[in-house]
Amino acid sequence: MFRSSSAVQRSRNPLKYQRRTVAAVRAVSYDFAAAARNPPACHPPWRKRSRTMPADPVRSPAPPPERQPHCTGAAAIMVQLIRESYAQVQPRVEDVAQFFYAMLFTIAPDTRELFAANMQVQRSRFMRALMHIVQNVDRPDELVPFLRQLGRDHRKFGVLAQHYDPMGTALVTALKQYAGPVWTPQVEKAWSDAYGLVAKTMREAAEADPGPAWWTARVVDHHRLSWDLAVVRVTPEQPVPYRAGQYVSVEVPQRPRLWRYLSPANTPRPDGSIEFHIRAVPGGSVSRSIVGHTQVGDTWRIGSPMGLMTVDRSSGRDVVMVAGGTGTAPMRAILEDLTQWGDNPEVTIFVGGRTHADLHDLDTLTAMAATNPWLTVIPAVESYPRTAGMEHGTLADVVTRFGAWPDRDVLVCGSPAMIRATVSRMLVAGTPLDRITYDPFTVD
């Protein structure tokens, strides 16, 4: 494959290119955190604006061009340049991720020790984080909390302030490599400015957090429910400050340096113990190790809490939850938290699976509903024959069959495919995107 002369120059002298790109990355003129406090002309405050989402909200980078948010000024230009250029590289985003890490390890060799030998999952996370940033680049009130959580979470890898500049160089270089003719000096400046803001937000959050980079926890119980499903309970040496509905990254002794995201299935307890529900996924070396080889007494490391899924009891809106597989875990934690209050919104939770056996934790949720009249549980199975007392079809089918839910807050958790299908169908049915919440990091 032929390469442009600039690409050849970069490969011959990456340090010279690094100096030029770092200078561009540092040329930052826009502050995400300030914009979150005083939203720019791109949009009014988020609960008052109309948002759009691509048909594939988990993998697609941005709304279709004809439905771009109405922005003005320099911010609008930056958003447009970023989204249009990303649309060009998105079909090759896996190649972008590989190039990014290869470039990073070339110009900053010490960063290689921050990651595991197998980079497949790390590259997948990089792609999802990049997509999430592109989707929300003009929505600082949503992007800033995500970046702050990401910055605090990256401390577990040993990421330091001096690592952010070479990361920016590697990112801009990787995007330029695959953007083709749409890449211009203006596009490069837009990406450099945007990355500078991302890095600034993450770095400041990491430096300001007084807590540890991770918490050490001991496994006190491992109960295998089936060949591919287990419940693990751990007790941290110090309480992990998570909220019901959030997720954390964990590292287990069987797979050192391979961090995986798991959602606590309980609201924080007085003794600090956390319960995780783990299904062994195909190709998932960590999940299979946890299910099959975890021992009482093992020491786990737990990273900083992340995620924005929650129920706002003060909003006055009722809630719809959509959970597939072990995606019931954060929903159960939220519901457990709500049971502590006397006045709650009406909550309808759809629990889905291919068969009845796949309806994880249905008995627990049904027991909750029996003593909490504000909670309704609706199970759904895809397989035949139909099961009495259960809806039939995918979660996307069943949830939209019940309506568009225009006045409800919607929480979605499950596999990436399930989230894509459900969110897309709900948007088509008329559910406002402002009402739908899902986390960008799902089961690896």
Per-residue pLDDT, 18: 44
How many CB atoms sit inside 10 A of residue 12's CB?
9
- Angle in degrees, CA 304, 292, 279, rounded to 5: 60
Angle at which helices 93-107 and 14-26 cross, to 10°: 100
The DSSP element (H or E) to which 330 belongs, if any, is helix 328-338
Q: Which of 340, 344, 348, 337 is nearest to 315 (CA)?
A: 344
Q: Give the burial class of 124: count Cβ atoms within 10 A of its Cβ; 0-12 exposed, 13-18 middle, 19 or more buried.
A: middle
Torsion, Cα 405 50 245 231, to 10 degrees, reads 70
What is the rounded CA–CA span in Å between residue 302 and residue 95?
A: 30
Per-residue pLDDT, 441: 62
Q: Which of 139, 95, 329, 160 is nearest to 230 (CA)?
A: 329
Ordered structural domains, the chain, with CATH: 5-208 (1.10.490.10), 215-302 (2.40.30.10), 319-437 (3.40.50.80)
Per-residue pLDDT, 186: 95
Per-residue pLDDT, 398: 97
What is the rounded CA–CA span in Å between residue 349 and residue 365?
A: 9
Per-residue pLDDT, 26: 41
Q: Which of 251, 256, 273 is nearest to 264 (CA)?
A: 273
Helix (H, G, I), strand (E, B) or coil at 21: helix
How does DSSP classify residue 244? Answer: T
Residue bearing tokens 């497949």: 120
Six-digit token string for 182: 């749409």
Per-residue pLDDT, 19: 43
- Residue 250: phi and psi, rounded to 5, are -130, 150
Block mean pLDDT (10 aa), the chain, length 444: 37 42 41 46 36 38 39 79 94 93 94 84 85 86 89 90 94 95 95 94 93 96 95 97 95 91 96 96 87 97 92 94 96 97 95 92 96 97 85 96 95 91 94 88 50
Per-residue pLDDT, 442: 52
Per-residue pLDDT, 122: 84
- Residue 323: phi and psi, rounded to 5, are -135, 130
Evaluate whether 267 touches 246 at the Cβ level (below 8 Å): no
Q: Which residues pair with 37 in a beta bridge?
A: none
Six-digit token string for 424: 């897309």
Per-residue pLDDT, 72: 57
Q: What is the pTM of this model?
A: 0.75
